Homo-oligomer: A and B are copies of this chain.
Amino acid sequence: MAEGLGVGICGLGTVGSGTFNLLFGNRAEIESKVGTPVEVRLVGCRRDHPDCDLAGTRVTRDIFDVVGDSEVDVVCELIGGTDAALELVRGALDAGQHVVTANKALIAEHGAALFELAAEKGVQLRFEAAIAGGIPIVKAVREGLSGNRIEGIAGIINGTSNFILTEMSGLGNRGFDEVLAEAQELGYAEADPTFDVEGIDAAHKLTILSSIAFGVPLAFEHIYTEGISAVTVDDIRYAQELGYRLKHLGITRRRESGVELRVHPTLVPETELIAKVDGVMNAVLVSSDAAGTTLYYGAGAGSLPTASSVVADVIDVARSVGATHAVSNLGFAGGTSDARVLPIDETRSAFYLKLTVEDRPGVMASLSTTLSEHDISIESLIQKDASGGQVPIVLITNEVQESQFDAAVRAIESADYTQGEVTRIRVVAFN
């Protein structure tokens, strides 16, 4: 390390260009922090980036040239995807290079094998930038709260979905399709928005968060995922009347029987700080036995915020080289736990339930009876004005196991007083 740390950047897109510019622009400040120079010694990219001045930097058009390059101690994998990226990361680890990646899909789907390879080779594989952009949440969980037993994590970890829900919650009475189109125009949503609005991006991130929190194996194949495309403005309004905000959350919690791992639209009490996180911003709430509730807020995407986390990881490599017990991989040196991921029907939530019933005496009593026969109580309820012989009812239940709520809903749906569809949204409180 006497001669500094050599960095190779693979991919010069949004994150790669930000990483190059940050390492270059702040190189004096970074050297003064680390005590040794941190230098970009090779950039692998198919084409130059208009924002990057590559004069004086060694460049190759074949990213695989960075693998095993003798001047490169740390390879930054910033190409995305899971094909070439997997080959690249595997190659670099195999060649004894440390790897820093922003690639959530790669870690969530292939992390186990890659971490094993990194451990075998005695190098580090870091991934702060894979979750919540510029927020140092991996560091907070693996290190800042390392003395704690983590109880649960809930995160607004997809900025696109949070932007859409925030706009739908505003006064404009605008539905999902209209706001999505606006988000696409503003560049907050992709032309094909599936990854963001159907929760897949959040599922990748939550899978990783769950593993660093609980030391469980990465379990992307077992996560429950539901997006926001079916959310209606009506439900947002009714929930607001009841004192709740609708957020798209990733939730992972430790339970006696296993670990909850789920991404879905969630109603949160309006008094909680996470309910007040609006627009494209991200926030992650962590509940743990000693620190209690802590929350981490910031930009969840973008060139420089993501680069901030990539560079922090590079600096952490420089700062930890030589340490016998450097934090690595999922943060559990002692191996992973065997706690299973709970199927969604074994998770616990309170529920928002909206239904339309016949406008006649005794219906409310029947509905209450059905719920109480399933050991469910009503915490709050709004009965709207009757029209055409029908009354819309919106209620919030206590916390119950999902299978128990499912059974109650089946009974309600088949009751003679119920008209049409029943809508249900999970409700979770953290304080």
**B-contacting residues of A (Cβ < 8 Å)?**
1, 18, 22-23, 26, 29-36, 128, 133-136, 139-140, 142-149, 215, 273, 276-277, 288-299, 302, 304-305, 307-312, 314-316, 318-327, 331-335
Contact = CB atoms under 8 A, between A and B. Distances in A.
Given A26-B147, A288-B308, A290-B307, 15 more contacts: A32-B332, A35-B333, A134-B291, A139-B139, A143-B319, A273-B297, A292-B299, A292-B304, A293-B299, A297-B297, A319-B323, A319-B326, A319-B327, A321-B323, A322-B323
Contacts of A332: 32-33
A136 B32 CA distance: 22
Contacts of A144: 128, 136, 139-140, 309, 312
6 contacts: A35-B333, A136-B140, A143-B315, A273-B273, A319-B326, A320-B326
B140 A22 contact: no
A343 to B, nearest CB: 26
Contacts of A321: 323-325
Nearest to A285: B297
The winner among A36, A294, A318 for most chain B CB atoms within 10 A is A294
A143 B297 contact: no
Shortest 3 CB-CB contacts between residues of A and residues of B: A136-B144, A147-B311, A35-B333
A369 B25 CA distance: 45
Given A26-B149, A276-B276, A333-B35, A308 B327 contact: no
A316 to B, nearest CB: 7
A146 to B, nearest CB: 5
Contact of A290 (B31, B128, B297, B308): B308
Contacts of A331: 33
Contacts of A297: 273, 294-297
B276 A147 contact: no
A147 to B, nearest CB: 3
A220 to B, nearest CB: 23
A288 B304 CA distance: 10
A289 B135 contact: no
Contacts of A322: 322-324
Nearest to A307: B290
A1 B23 CA distance: 34
Nearest to A335: B32
A48 to B, nearest CB: 21
